[in-house]
Amino acid sequence: MDTSDFRNGLSFIMDNDIFTIVEFQHVKPGKGGAFVRSRLKNLRTGATIDKTWRAGERMEQAILERKAMQYLYSQDDEAYLMDNETFEQTAVPLTQFGSQTKYLKENVDVNVIIHKDAIIGVSVPDFMELVVTETEPGIRGDTASGGTKPATVEGGAVVQVPFFVNAGDKLRIDTRTDSYLERVK
């Protein structure tokens, strides 16, 4: 593939790593050759970089498979996942989840990215419903201030929640921003 094939979300191999295009822009200056500015995300580390390409520059496209697998349990710094179709179990280092390990909950489906039969990326769903395991009790009259308090949810994540939330409440959490969205019945 070359720079004319660029699309947001396209993946390719560069410097023995796999990158996905977050955004790109074709630039045709009045003087000199055309070029492409791009923002790329490294799928192994999660880091983003900016790179400028000459028009027509070639690279190898990475064929990725994305699938949902069920998280079973963690043991010895590894998470055990089960393929929902073949029921095969696979061990993945917990480091591949990064900061999202605090949202791991048994029997939840996680998103897995596979390249050449190797798991290169794992992430929890963007929105999860979790039960509050620990929080300070709300004090009557504090709701007018619109303030928040810390609450610990299943898995150990700490999220800022409104004063009316109590231990045992089920909440919808945005795992990308660690933020409270709403209370679920």
pLDDT digits (tens, 9 = 90+) for 87-102: 999 999 888 887 888 8
What CATH number is attached to the domain comprising 153? 2.40.50.140
Query: Both 32 and 54 in a single domain?
Result: yes
- Tell me the percentage of the chain whose pLDDT exceeds 70: 95
Tell me the CA distances in angstroms from 27 to 12, 30, 38, 162, one per residue in order. 21, 10, 11, 47
Residue where a domain terminates, one of 37, 61, 85: 61
On the CB side of 91, how many CA atoms lie within 13 Å of its CA?
6
> 84: which 2 tokens?
């929902």
Domain range holding 13?
3-61
Residue 159's pLDDT band (cuts 50, 70, 90): very high
Q: What is the mean pLDDT of residues 67-78?
A: 92
User: Among 49, 47, 52, 40, which Cα is nearest to 12's?
Assistant: 40
Residue where a domain terminates, one of 61, 85, 104: 61
